[in-house]
Amino acid sequence: MHFRIRGLPAEDFAPLFALSDEELKHRGAVRRIADGPRPCRISLTDAKPGDELILVNYEHHAVASPYRMRFAIYVRAGEQTFDAIDAVPEQLRPRTLALRAFDADAMMIAWEVIEGVALEQAIARQFADPRAVYLHVHFAAPGCYAARVERA
């Protein structure tokens, strides 16, 4: 089973980096300087200490179901959107992840907590259910959205 993992569209976040701290505050966002690895949801790479980030509330599952979701995410300036078939970004490998499958009605039909090194096998298990239209990867500890997985 082939799969595609995508980060968030870079163009959706690029304008945030030109805003003042006060303008960011009015949008419910803050500028941060990374003091350790922080996961950029655009490139699906970790920020290095000293990198400028925006921490923003993002609706990653804008659906008409009880599973509509939003949460805080980090994005980094100048990044390109990760978009690859049958490839897992290294950012996901060392982390504990929650993988969730959704059907055509945006209802959660499967879930499991896994280590990132086992992501391909978990994707295959969840896509073995023909009702699974797409999957979401979340970082298990903070529970925040990491990436979308689709059939390829």
pLDDT tens track, the chain, 152 positions:
799 999 999 999 999 999 999 999 999 999 999 999 999 999 999 999 999 999 999 999 999 999 999 999 999 999 999 999 999 999 999 999 999 999 999 999 999 999 999 999 999 999 999 999 999 999 987 768 888 899 88
Tokens found for residue 41: 């949801």
Instruction: Give the pLDDT score at 50.
Output: 95
Q: Are 36 and 46 in contact (CB under 8 A)?
A: no
Number of domains in the chain: 1
Residue 39 to residue 45: CA distance in whole angstroms: 6
* Residues facing 97 on adjacent strands: 114, 139
Give the strand order in the sheet containing 134-139: 83-85, 3-6, 145-151, 134-139, 96-102, 108-115
Q: How many angstroms separate the CA atoms of 38 and 55, rounded?
A: 10
pLDDT of residue 148: 84
Q: Report the pLDDT value the prediction gives residue 32, as an integer from 0 to 100.
A: 96
5: which residues sit within 8 A by CB, 6+ positions away?
44, 82, 83, 84, 87, 88, 89, 137, 147, 148, 149
**pLDDT number for residue 65:** 95
At residue 63, the 3 state secondary structure works out as coil
- The strand pair at 83-85 and 3-6 is best described as antiparallel
pLDDT computed for residue 1 by the predictor: 79
Task: Show the tokens assigned to 129.
Answer: 């259910």
Say how far apart CA 120 and CA 57 lie, in whole Å: 28
What is the model's pLDDT at position 121?
A: 97
Look up the domain containing 30 and give its range: 3-151
Max CA separation in the chain (angstroms): 48
Q: What is the pLDDT of residue 142?
A: 73
- d(CA 152, CA 135) in angstroms, rounded, equals 12
